[in-house]
Amino acid sequence: MGRLIKISIFILLIGMSACHKKQIVPLPTQTVNYEEEKIAVNQEIARRELADINLIAQRYGWNLTKTESGLLYMIENKNDSPRAQKGNRVQIKGTITLADGSVFYDSKTDGIKEFIIDGSEDIVGLHELVKLMGVGEKANAIIPSFLAYGISGDGLEVPALSSMICEIELIKIL
């Protein structure tokens, strides 16, 4: 009889463990479209930056024109001189600041800025702005972050997603 009891207990334990097995419940499948999420986040960033840019333009009293790329600018002292073009070496003077007021470039302390249009590592929006100018013309502009140093900044002076405010004069096309 002892052996019969042992077998019965064994069968009982097997039956009990079978009743307490964890069932694997499949998780509901959720499709996440990361591309749509990235687009939505970028649109929100652009919306906020545009709101900040509009406040800057109001603060300076600038009536700006917007290019297809998103550069906002106005030209003063318009004249009939030839426009700077891709490949031209140009010289500018003036100031470029960040939206927080910190100075990125000031010709009074940094000297004349010289670069080749569309042929240097400079700010893309600055190249676009200078191509809209003739010698002796002054421009006021706001370069959105995506035409400046973008989402990463320059790693030194320009933080990520920084718009730049330009008050420059094209002094020479070489």
The model's pTM is 0.77
pLDDT at 38: 86
- Interatomic CA distance for residues 168 and 4, integer angstroms: 101
3-state secondary structure at position 125: helix
Q: pLDDT digits over 75-106, tens only?
A: 998 999 999 999 999 999 999 999 889 999 99
Between 3 and 27, name the one with better pLDDT.
Answer: 27
d(CA 112, CA 96): 12
The answer to whether residues 166 and 141 touch, using CB atoms and an 8 Å cutoff, is yes
Contacts of 70 (CB under 8 A, 6+ apart): 144, 146, 147
pLDDT at 122: 76
- The yes-or-no verdict on residue 46 having pLDDT over 90 is no
Average pLDDT score over residue span 10-23: 55
pLDDT of residue 24: 73
Q: H or E segment at 170?
A: strand 164-173
CATH class of 63-173: alpha beta
Domain coordinates in residue numbering, the chain: 63-173
**Rounded distance between C-alpha atoms, residue 153 and residue 146, angstroms:** 10
Q: What percentage of the chain carries pLDDT values higher than 90?
A: 64
One-letter identity of residue 24: I
